[in-house]
Amino acid sequence: MKLLIKRGRLIDPVGGIGGVMDLLIEDGRIAGVGSDLGSEADQIIDATNLAVCAGLVDMHVHLRDPGFEYKEDIFTGTLAAARGGVTTVACMPNTKPATDCPEQIRYVQDKAATACGVRVYPVCAVTRGQQGQELTDAEQAKKAGAPALSDDGFPIDSANVMRDALIRAKRYDLPVLSHCEYGDMVKNYAVNEGRVSRQLWLEGRPAIAEELMVMRDAMLAEETGAHVHIQHVSTGKSVDIIRKMKKKGVPITCETCPQYFTLTEDEVLRCGSQARVNPPLRTKHDVEEIIRGLQDGTIDAIVTDHAPHSAEEKARPLEKAPSGMVGLETSLAVTLTALYHTGKMELDAIIRKMTVNPANILRLSAGRLAIGADADVTIFDPDEEWIVDPEEFASKGRNTPFTGRTLKGRVKYTIVGGKIIYQDN
């Protein structure tokens, strides 16, 4: 089976490929890249005026399966990923039961194998049941196919447990993905501690609760030599800590999400619980510093933290609604709108943070358009405008503060292993 993508604007930050080129896919792998590869193929896609890059890799997704299928399941979650141009996802372990053993890892893998084709890598919990106490078996988790360890959603407050986890994870070359917020400081508070929390007469989640744990985990990474990856960075000081630690050679990487470089705490005043996320939306200064961290390379990856909830749950009062928003179907467009079309970042730099960088952090071979690589490809129109309508989502979740926003950038094709799994009509 030959698939030929003609006259697309190729973007490959690793190989340095750029310009208008053809891409030939044969038997599920990339077979050729060139300015004119002819016209012989079983299927031809005319990609004139479209961008062609490696399939997006989202290393922070909640598929909610097993246990919370009313919010999302592996079938709907991967369909949402495909619509967003995402060909590889790493799903978090805060399911019911938690993904904390080989049996639960295999459950996710087996179900994903019958879904739409998006590659799914289950992340194993750091601790049993994500309770922050007894460590899981890192060796067996890796053998079962887990690319990383994380208790995401449940910060590991004990420095001793985290240190032991890092020592063990290093032994098996597994990164530990850390949700950095001290639980006893943030409790279940709904918004950032600051002007908006005071206006609403609510207790807030202080920025220092994130920053203290970022510093702690960075120091533990320095001491153990283990790879710590800081999840959903949301404050300017967190960025600065990571920047300084990277300059010292500490094995630390980090990610952020589109909401943290586009929205501020004021969004809570506009749309209530739809803007409730953990960590919370912060200040304008924090947004500016997150963007600076993306620009200078401190922040390695752009992810979604895709967190679907039911409409009934998100309709609760702000203090009682669950935290999280969906993002798989809007992430690329929000990022292009906020960073590329404003001139804040070049397209190849954005694509690097959404493809090869997260793949490298997870030790995956994805994110490249090299000859012989798996033909995971995303084709998008960087200039097409569209209005966000959650009723059109493939995800079960409709919880997004971007409803009604006009975005610029739309996925046209998503290809996994040479097979078209999504096409925009």
Q: At what angle do helices 236-247 and 284-295 cross, to 10 degrees?
A: 30
Contacts of 135 by beta carbon, 8 Å cutoff, 6+ apart: 126, 127, 128, 161, 164, 165, 168
Contacts of 72 by beta carbon, 8 Å cutoff, 6+ apart: 62, 63, 64, 65, 308, 395, 396, 397
Ramachandran category for residue 206: left, alpha or beta (phi over 0 → left; psi -120 to 50 → alpha): beta
H/E element, 321: none
Please identify which of the residues 22, 100, 217, 305 carries the catalytic annotation.
Answer: 305
- Beta-bridge mates of residue 407: 386
**What does the chain come to in residues?**
425
- Beta-bridge mates of residue 191: 204
Q: Is 83 exposed, middle or buried (0-12, 13-18, 19+ CB in 10 A)?
A: buried
**175, 225 in Cβ contact below 8 A?**
no
**66, 95 in Cβ contact below 8 A?**
yes
**136, 98 in Cβ contact below 8 A?**
no
Is 151 an annotated catalytic residue?
no
Burial 86-122 (b: 16+ CB within 10 A, else e): bbbbbbbbbbeebbbbbebbebbbebbeebbbbbbbb
**Three-state secondary structure call for residue 35:** coil
Q: Tell me the one-letter amino acid at 155.
A: P
Q: Tell me the one-letter amino acid at 232.
A: H
Give Cα 326 distance to the centre of its chain.
11
Residues designated as active site: 305
